[in-house]
Amino acid sequence: MTSQGIVDLRSKKSGGHIRRWPNPLSQREKPRSPLRAKRRRVRALMAFAILAALGVAAFGVSWLSYNPRLMVNEIVVSGAEATRPELVRTYVETQLYSGGHSFLSRSNIFLYPRADLERALAQFFPRIKSATVSRAGLLAQAITVQVKERESFAQWCSSGADTCYALDSDGFVFAAGTTTDRFLTPYIFSGGVEGASPLGKTYMHGRLSGVLALLEKLSQAGFLPQTIVAENEQDFSVRLKGEFLLRLSYGGDINGVIRNLELVLGSDGLVGKRSRIEYIDLRFGNRVYYKLKGATAEGKVESE
């Protein structure tokens, strides 16, 4: 038999053809849109242009602030009597012309630190209570420094009275006292200040106004306050001129103090003995204690 006309229907062995899946990594990227790239370039150029413009503007502002026509060229000081005007002028110059080259000039008529100058002058010169810095006009290159000096209200003296200073009505000690000083009151204060020097410190901080009101009432009643000593945080004493000592407490009723003082002076134990009184203690309300010179015990007077 021959094999012609016979077809082999047996399946072929597997592996004859291998199915291959496409590799995504091998696919070529799609070309970017030319319009999108162009927009990115435009945005980058715009950002660069803006930064450049800001830089040029900043340089222009800095340069303009140093323009000689816009610089302070004169400092006029007024109101300074005890404080030498040239010292005030020199101090202001050092604040305006520091020697460095800042981004904006401190001596520019529009940019000079007016508020800082006013505050610094009062801090640097204890005698200056306040200062006002101004210019006469919009383009004026001269600045005027108007100072208000502290008044010598009274003296503060050390315990030995060998060193005295001037203080104002707020109790601020601002200068060493001299024999030529003229004080508004005859009061001499002492104590109540810590440290070697009282300069720049406030005496009886927050309490002086009440003490001054009492001193005025005493004067109106015919007494002459002369020396006031801050004993501690609660008490102080007042020495009457040529007479006795008053022991008092802060915050007491002023009218009550005057009433009790007059009452004890008119009591049986002190009538005709005013020159012999060593002290009167008015710290305990209606119970008033007193002591005569040479006596070993205190006397007491109580009012209703």
Going along the chain from its start, the domains and CATH numbers come out as 71-149 (3.10.20.310), 154-302 (3.40.50.11690)
* pLDDT at site 1: 46
Report CA 49 to chain centroid distance, whole Å: 46
- Residue 251 token pair: 């915050």
* pLDDT at site 22: 59
Across the chain, which has 304 residues, the per-10-residue mean pLDDT values are 54 53 55 77 84 78 83 95 95 86 86 95 95 94 96 89 88 83 91 84 92 97 96 96 96 94 92 94 94 92 80
Q: What is the SS3 assignment for 55? A: helix
* pLDDT at site 48: 85
* pLDDT at site 179: 64
String of DSSP letters for 70-129: GB--EEEEES-SSS-HHHHHHHHHHHH--SS--SS-TTBTTTS-HHHHHHHHHHH-TTEE
- Residue 125 token pair: 């010169």
* pLDDT at site 52: 82
